Amino acid sequence: MNENSQIQMIADYEGDIETLFDINFDGVIPILATRNIVMFPGVICPILIGREQSVGLIDAMRANPNRIFAVFCQRNSDVEIPSKEDVYTTGVYAKLVKVIDLPGNQKTAIVQGLSRCTLDDFYYTPAYFEGKVSAMPELLPKADDTEFNTAVKTMRRSMEEYIQKNDEFPNESAFALQNISNNILVTNFSATNLPISITEKMGLLETQSIKERLFNLLRILSREIQFLDLKLNIQNKTHEDIDEQQREYFLHQQMRNIREELGGSEGSPEKKALKDKAAAQKWSEDVKKVFEREYDKLDNYNPQSPDYQIQLTYLQTFVSLPWGEKTVDNLDLKHAEKVLNSDHYAMEKVKERILEFLAVMKLRSMARQNNEEIRHKSQIICLFGPPGVGKTSLGKSIAKAINRKYARISLGGMHDESEIRGHRRTYIGAMPGRIIKALQKVGSSNPVFILDEIDKVTQKTINGDPTSALLEVLDPEQNSTFHDNYLDVDYDLSDVLFICTANDLGTLPKPLLDRMEIIEITGYTTEEKYEIAKRHLVKRDKQDNGFAGKEYKDLKFDKKALIRIIEQYTRESGVRQLDRQINKVLRKLAVEMLTKESEETGLEKIQVDDIEKYLGKPLVTREIYQGNNYAGVVTGLAWTSVGGEILFIETSLSKGKAGKLTLTGNLGDVMKESAVLALEYCKAHSDLLNIDYRIFDNYNIHIHVPEGATPKDGPSAGITIATSIASALTQRKVRKNTAMTGEITLRGRVLPVGGIKEKILAAKRAGITDILLCHENRKDIEEIADFYLTGLEFHYVENVKDVWDFALTDEKVDNAIEFTIEPEKDKTQTA
């Protein structure tokens, strides 16, 4: 049995074919469910029997050979115990011809299909499957049907052609096809053995007319022959390409062998250049072995093949990296300090940190000369601050100060992890990551490397997580063995001075923040912006706008003019907008100079009165101190991203029964909580204010912070709100030219706040002379230069009572409100 194919088991039928199809049994009958076998009427087919129910059916048919059963194909061959939904409803009656016992307790049943039937119901029994079936008659062609007979001849030729082109069919298949004389049987035989899908075979079986089934079979057969022709054509082309490549490869191998025998050249110019560069590299033994292994692979590739070019590009990248190549650091601290001060004004903390770095480098160099063991560790710094304060340009100055190469990559919007780690060489178009490419570009292993806008890296995308890839780069404990996927070998980044820049640390993952030393660069004050404009911006903008000649040497901006631009035409932390406004003034001046009729070329100093002529009306208005003639109006100090500001807290009282608190001015949750705390403290300490506690039950309190379109939040207005409420309740004036800032607790304690430098400068601009602060903020005042503090007096407080004692005067405001309190009702009950 194992030596015979399915087709060879078919025998021709010499009798009347209609006797095979004349089965009209309707009722319950045993069912044989087959997997991947569709039987057609009249065809004898071997079926491997393995399922328990199928074995039971065959044993029952063996005992009664004249008994018929039905064969139906399963929809899903993986189902062991099928239901009616798992079986196609069209099948054939069948009879058992022979059973062959195989090793392993398996059987093969030789089954002959009879007429078609349809499955009406399906039953499961432990012995075998049963089903209710009904006969499906077929439309047989007439014996003299010329069209049918001609089509059968065409089908025979097509089947023979298909068998010849398909290697999966045995050689005897065409002989078996030729020996079937009955046209109906040869049609069903071909439909049974054609290797098409079960769905298409079932479509043929469900066709009632034999003639229509034949034409459908011809269409399918024509399609399969076309697929075979296409497959053979593709295989022939592929073999030709491979043969041509093999031929070229062997020829090149022979040429190489001939050159070696003759003592000829060492290979192509590219390979010779690789060898020369490799000889000059300062590689470790491990890296050298990797290169030699990859270099030897070139000999296995045909120079015309894509794999050769990919390998050559990899090796060229490998040898072009600055392995161990370093620039000599200039460790002169005075030189570095001079360079940093000339390029950037202020930024004292950053400059101090760079000088510390140089000092440590110098001590380490001295210790190395004395052969002392030193632990090597890279430096990771993150400059954090608002836009436009010079974080990126500071990196250039640092590289210039210590005589190192400068490398920079922008991480804003990066969403692919491969941009950091590189692509594996198995991908088409693979390349190293941007870290390795930047080092390749600068040609040094110890540059100052700026990772710009690190807070704008896209996290956890479909292409990986770039921020996680940065963990290895920015970890001093790991980056000495940085692994790029393209290089597939460790690269030492421990000598690189990484400087990251960020505007918002809130978007960075905590593990990444933990690996960096955070240095905050705050926004510039008005005085600092003036110095930057005078020292750097005006000089640069004059050159950019054509005022570089000697005749324009004396062209300057008056100090008051620059300060007016800063305060009334810009509102920013950095100096970008200031730079644009200075450019605008110079452009207007250029137009005026070239269009005037006189031939005068000398230009005077730009005065404060000229600013409005060139820039138009002021764009920004700052709050000014409004005096102390109103009860409930207190001046507070606030920090914003563009510097310090003064703000006013206004409190008013209105007659009402509920004692309701109303808050307006676009306040945030924290500021609203501060207002509630301040009111509750006032209620609990009404005796300190010498007011009747019943006033809170008879008057509604409304607290407002002007400029309602601007969102405001934070706890630093706590003492300001408490003082505003106290002034409104007592109708007492607040001390003149006084401002305050500080957070309060429910028990009246004053807590420290931040942004002190910006706040006191805003107070100074507004004409404030006295500032109330928490006593813990004294250390912040001591860090500020003395010339910023001239004209200001600081009063340090510990609780709200101290604030009231200083801020509230004994003088009543004009037109003070007289509060009327309704007497309490007598609650004495009478019997």
Active-site hit among 201, 211, 405, 759: 759
Dihedral angle computed from the Cα positions of residues 190, 193, 194 and 200, in that order, rounded to the nearest 10 degrees:
90
Active-site hit among 716, 727, 757, 764: 716
How far apart CA 405 and CA 441 sit, in angstroms, is 10
The pairing of strands 517-520 and 406-410 is: unpaired
Strand partners, 451: 409, 500
Residues 6+ apart with CB under 8 A from 271: 295, 298
377 is a catalytic site residue: no
In 3D, which of 115, 113, 139, 132 has the Cα closest to residue 45? Answer: 113
3-class SS of residue 243: helix
**How many other CB atoms are there within 10 angstroms of residue 644's CB atom?**
24
How far apart CA 287 and CA 348 sit, in angstroms, is 43
Retrieve residue 668's tokens. Answer: 């945030």
How far apart CA 136 and CA 209 sit, in angstroms, is 11
716 is a catalytic site residue: yes
How far apart CA 656 and CA 812 sit, in angstroms, is 23
**How many other CB atoms are there within 10 angstroms of residue 15's CB atom?**
8
Question: E-strand spans in 414-467?
Answer: 448-452
3-class SS of residue 636: strand
Retrieve residue 393's tokens. Answer: 């340009």
How far apart CA 546 and CA 442 sit, in angstroms, is 33
**How many other CB atoms are there within 10 angstroms of residue 654's CB atom?**
10
Q: How long, in residues, is the chain?
A: 831
The separation between CA 378 and the C-alpha centre of its own chain, rounded to angstroms, equals 27
**How many other CB atoms are there within 10 angstroms of residue 494's CB atom?**
17
Dihedral angle computed from the Cα positions of residues 351, 357, 358 and 360, in that order, rounded to the nearest 10 degrees:
140
Helix 285-296 to helix 269-279 angle, to the nearest 10 degrees? 170
What's the per-residue H, E or C state across 342-387? Answer: HHCCCCHHHHHHHHHHHHHHHHHHHHHHCCCCCCCCCEEEEEECCC
CB-based contacts of 230-235 (< 8 A; 24+ apart in sequence): 232/165
In 3D, which of 735, 501, 512 has the Cα closest to residue 635? Answer: 735
User: 48 and 106 in contact (C-beta within 8 Å)?
Assistant: yes
3-class SS of residue 450: strand
DSSP code string of 649-709: EEEEEEE-SS--EEEESSB-HHHHHHHHHHHHHHHHTHHHHT--TTHHHHEEEEEE-S-TT
3-class SS of residue 510: helix
User: 463 and 345 in contact (C-beta within 8 Å)?
Assistant: no
Retrieve residue 539's tokens. Answer: 């000089």
**How many other CB atoms are there within 10 angstroms of residue 604's CB atom?**
10
Please give the angle made by the CA atoms of 373, 376 and 380, to the nearest 5 degrees: 155
Q: For 263, left (φ over 0), alpha (ψ -120 to 50), or beta? A: left
**How many other CB atoms are there within 10 angstroms of residue 424's CB atom?**
11
Question: E-strand spans in 735-815?
Answer: 738-740, 743-744, 750-751, 770-774, 793-797, 808-812
How far apart CA 156 and CA 141 sit, in angstroms, is 17
Residues carrying an active site annotation: 716, 759
